[in-house]
Structure 1
Amino acid sequence: MADTTGDTTDRLDPPEPDSGRRKPGWRSVGPGIVVAATGVGAGDLVATLIAGGGFGYTLLWAAVLGCLVKISLAEAVGRWHLATGRTLFEGWATLGAWTGWFFGIYVVIWGFVYGAAAMSATALPLHALFPGVMGLEWWGVCTGLVGLIFVWFNRYAVFEKVMTVLVGVMFVVTVSLALRVTPNVGAAVAGLLPVVPDEEGAVFNTLGLIGGVGGTITLAAYGYWINAKGWSGPRWMAVMRWDNRIAYLTTGVFVVSMLVVGAELLHSARIALSGGGQGLLQLGSLLEERYGSVTATLFLVGFLAATFTSLIGVWHGVSLLFADFVERGWPRSRGGSRGRGEGPAAPRARERSRPFRVYLLWLTFPPMLLLFRGEPFRLVVLYGVLGAAFMPFLALTLVRLLNSSRTPREWRSGVVSNAMLGLAGVLFLALGAREVLDQPWSDFF
């Protein structure tokens, strides 16, 4: 195959010729639902509520654009896996050993801090639904153990079914709430016009809303989930794209619904929410005052579904990434030295592998210390900085991989994909720079 990019290093062999292209359908939707649901956690819901509460419907367009950006990122990850038959980490390895150093440091620190955050967030609605049963920390321990046991003993097929059911619960709850508060349709339509409020901090609030809609490192897991589903080779490309679009359309419904709740319930009353899961608890109390205990309980169930999907999604997806990282023998591997590609059996075996289970344990037990002792300051600062760096790393490495001879010519990125990936890279670089600048470095040293 001729190389029109001038990149002749670390070229990956194309997968075997693939015939019998698969047709998309409703039954094929699955991995996209998993990645979208994993990415939409308490923080995303609160950020959307705060945007609605602060600016009404003005930033609705930003929430929609955020979904389009994530569709493009997830599609690029899936296209790499299917077009090349290689995992994302194999692709990163061809870009140099620095990618392995970055990922290795990131995934260890991120997993330690995120494990505690996920358990705490999932404990909040349980503590509110069953007050007095046990303390918040112990609810967190229980949710971590449930996530560990569920992922340890079940394979992808069961995991996907449970995630789909929980997404159904989230869908019913968010749409019901949006209808309950009676949305202003005219104002919502006007909110689709790209306008940034003329207020201090509005620009970064807008960028944060675009960048925060559904996914961080879990977007990188999408390719592993489509392989675990049994999709392998370019014949599944149309199915993957359908799956991805339906999933993020569902995410868009979540986000728009929560923005409607914020605009109608918080904006007019000038009510400000706290960040994170505590903000959702505040909203639950407000819903009980306005609409009664049934509505508040329904909301808490939806809150629990959102946080628990994020927990088990990370427990499964990031463990797959870590297992591939170890399996490829970084930094010795240069991507492509382990055979002809990623067949359906590979991720299924990876779910039973020692590295997969080691990372599951890492996500579960060490973070429990943080539930009782608080988060170590320096570790949280490093977590924030590395987290800010991951999304531009993902977007910009995908641009590199999908515009080089590493990807068969037919499946390289076109103008639209490159524009969206470039937009994502610039967006996340701006957000990442602000995250780094906002860290209390003077207290760090």
Structure 2
Amino acid sequence: MADVRPSEKTYQNTLTDDSIPPKTGRWKLVGPGIVAAATGVGAGDLVATLIAGSRFGYALLWAAVIGCIVKIALAESTARWHLATGQTILDGWRSLGPWTSWYFGIYIIIWGFVYGATGMSATALPLAALFPFLPFWVWAMIAGILGAIFVALNRYQVFEDAMKIFIGIMFVVVIVIAIMTLPNLGEAVTGLVPTIPEGSLIYTLGLIGGVGGTITMASYGYWVNAKGWRTPRWMSIMRLDNRVAYIMTGVFVIAMLVIGAELLYTAQITLSSGDRGLLDLDEVLRERFGPVVSVIFLIGFAAAAFSSILGVWHGVSILFADFVRNVRNQPLSGTRDDLSKTPAFKFYLFWLTIPPMALLWFGRPFQLIIIYGALGAFFMPFLALTLMWLLNSKRVPAEWRNGWLSNTLLGASAALFIILCLNEIWGMIVGE
């Protein structure tokens, strides 16, 4: 593949965009960041936060706060590349050499096949509990197909509005339940002081790096562009959008940790690993607060899981469509929303939805899971390191290159993700 770099002409062309940010009412524009945050916070992340709270109480509260700062830096960097250069993150990776395309191409195909089954299963769990007249696998298939149809038939703004509704349900439900547990505010405040209890190192690093951090972080720049933000004029709006979204995520994660600390830590209740841990929490809520709260929680659980389906089905399909465009060396015409009309986008929607249904019956082949885990462990270090590379280079106009704060946060996040990557690989080697 030829080396493709943003030219001065390309950059100047982005400045001819007619859209101009409004001087008032900027809060009303917030949206793409909420989409990215809602997509990244899946059922597995919720369980990981609950387990951290159930094992260590409020001691790791500070890690949740640091995690949000890390995600703000990563998402801001991704979108800044899009706005400052007029190119996509796939264009940026391609400019670093063909190795990036080989890695990303293999990863996105395997990731989509395995995640398709994971996302559908996570959504089916609360739906099967709420409506047991249909078996689990039927609910999983319904969730996947409905998600694909919705994404295929609607443009970005409708998709964003739907995501806001789902994250609103999820947010309100979790905050209300956290308040009902009557949190110990004194202990919560002490949890903001960084400490690492014995045996908590990996939980601490996972809490910082895991919640809201997936391949969909790379989709944020495309959602920003689809919103109509395509030039540096929109940089301040994007930063407001990003900060609001991840502050909301931080509040949400803290609320989940409070629930884990108050309901599980004090009673020494152990959750199942994986998504089913949320069903264990549902039983605890039913015993303590009654069936109404249990049903409300399951609705919030379903909203969280289905928002991840919609976000992945839309965002990662756009990434795949742009990957195909780069492989074919085609120019990017129109808006990033046009990528959702391409055959490659529709193919990946199919790939996420139909082939993974086989895993609902036959389980996950061991070899495939090993490859999936290894490639996935490398993605967040890959994202952090390549963003540092790109945003410190002449590919970006000097005004929008990294400053010391961005380099510090991206460097710290890269080190964090490398440690988590090595831990993941070690776990696969020793079979843990």
TM-score (norm 1): 0.93
Distance in structure 2 (CA, Å) of the matches to 1:304 and 1:298 = 10
SS of the residue 1:351 aligns to: helix
Give the 4+ runs in structure 1 shifted more than 4 A.
Answer: 18-24, 440-443
SS of the residue 2:183 aligns to: coil
Tell me, yes or no, if structure 1 residue 177 matches structure 2 residue 177.
yes
Return the offset for 1:153: 0.7
1:289-438 residue pairs with structure 2 within 5 A? 289-329=287-327, 333=329, 338=331, 345-438=334-427
Return the offset for 1:442: 8.1
TM-aligned CA distance change 1:308 to 1:315, over 3 Å: same
Distance in structure 1 (CA, Å) of the matches to 2:71 and 2:221 = 14
Can you list the C-alpha shifts for 1:328-370, whole angstroms capped at 9, x where unaligned? 225xx4xxx72xxx67x33222111100000000000000000
Return the offset for 1:11: 4.2
Can you list the C-alpha shifts for 1:39-78, whole angstroms capped at 9, x where unaligned? 0010111010000000000000001111110010000001
* Aligned residue number for residue 139 of structure 2: 139
Distance in structure 1 (CA, Å) of the matches to 2:431 and 2:247 = 43
1:25-424 residue pairs with structure 2 within 5 A? 25-131=26-132, 133-197=133-197, 199-200=198-199, 202-329=200-327, 333=329, 338=331, 345-424=334-413
Return the offset for 1:275: 1.6
Say whether the 8 Å CA contact 2:5–2:91 is kept in structure 1. Answer: no
SS of the residue 1:195 aligns to: coil
Distance in structure 1 (CA, Å) of the matches to 2:4 and 2:281 = 52
Say whether the 8 Å CA contact 1:22–1:235 is kept in structure 2. Answer: no
Say whether the 8 Å CA contact 1:144–1:364 is kept in structure 2. Answer: yes
Can you list the C-alpha shifts for 1:86-112, whole angstroms capped at 9, x where unaligned? 000000000000000000000000000
Aligned partner letter, 1:302: G
Return the offset for 1:225: 0.5
Aligned partner letter, 1:259: L
Distance in structure 2 (CA, Å) of the matches to 1:403 and 1:288 = 52
Say whether the 8 Å CA contact 1:22–1:238 is kept in structure 2. Answer: no
Distance in structure 1 (CA, Å) of the matches to 2:393 and 2:47 = 39
Distance in structure 2 (CA, Å) of the matches to 1:55 and 1:368 = 37
SS of the residue 1:357 aligns to: helix
**Structure 2: which 5+ runs fail to align?**
none
Aligned partner letter, 1:87: T
Distance in structure 2 (CA, Å) of the matches to 1:322 and 1:127 = 31
Distance in structure 2 (CA, Å) of the matches to 1:442 and 1:284 = 30
Return the offset for 1:215: 2.4
Return the offset for 1:276: 1.8
SS of the residue 2:276 aligns to: helix
Aligned partner letter, 1:36: A
Say whether the 8 Å CA contact 2:36–2:311 is kept in structure 1. Answer: yes
Aligned partner letter, 1:32: G
Distance in structure 1 (CA, Å) of the matches to 2:126 and 2:240 = 33
TM-aligned CA distance change 1:61 to 1:230, over 3 Å: same
* Aligned residue number for residue 4 of structure 1: none
Say whether the 8 Å CA contact 2:4–2:94 is kept in structure 1. Answer: no
Can you list the C-alpha shifts for 1:229-273, whole angstroms capped at 9, x where unaligned? 111100000000000000001101110000000000000111111
* Aligned residue number for residue 3 of structure 1: none
Distance in structure 2 (CA, Å) of the matches to 1:181 and 1:303 = 18
Aligned partner letter, 2:6: L
Return the offset for 1:22: 4.8
Return the offset for 1:279: 0.2
Return the offset for 1:440: 4.2
Distance in structure 1 (CA, Å) of the matches to 2:227 and 2:213 = 20
SS of the residue 2:407 aligns to: helix
Aligned partner letter, 1:222: Y
Distance in structure 1 (CA, Å) of the matches to 2:167 and 2:4 = 40
Distance in structure 2 (CA, Å) of the matches to 1:121 and 1:395 = 28
TM-score (norm 2): 0.95
Bigger shift: residues 299-308 or 433-442: 433-442
Say whether the 8 Å CA contact 1:123–1:140 is kept in structure 2. Answer: yes
Say whether the 8 Å CA contact 1:22–1:236 is kept in structure 2. Answer: no
* Aligned residue number for residue 12 of structure 1: 6
Distance in structure 2 (CA, Å) of the matches to 1:22 and 1:401 = 30
Aligned partner letter, 1:186: G
Distance in structure 1 (CA, Å) of the matches to 2:209 and 2:305 = 19
Distance in structure 1 (CA, Å) of the matches to 2:116 and 2:183 = 36
Distance in structure 2 (CA, Å) of the matches to 1:13 and 1:195 = 48
Return the offset for 1:138: 1.2
Aligned partner letter, 1:35: A
* Aligned residue number for residue 5 of structure 1: none
Say whether the 8 Å CA contact 2:166–2:304 is kept in structure 1. Answer: yes
Distance in structure 2 (CA, Å) of the matches to 1:379 and 1:441 = 17
Say whether the 8 Å CA contact 1:11–1:405 is kept in structure 2. Answer: no
CA RMSD across the alignment? 1.6
Say whether the 8 Å CA contact 1:35–1:215 is kept in structure 2. Answer: no
Distance in structure 2 (CA, Å) of the matches to 1:301 and 1:385 = 33
Can you list the C-alpha shifts for 1:169-200, whole angstroms capped at 9, x where unaligned? 01110110110001111111110011100x23
Say whether the 8 Å CA contact 2:21–2:237 is kept in structure 1. Answer: no
Distance in structure 2 (CA, Å) of the matches to 1:424 and 1:440 = 24
SS of the residue 2:360 aligns to: helix
Return the offset for 1:317: 0.1
Identity of aligned residues (%): 57
**Structure 1: which 5+ runs fail to align?**
1-8
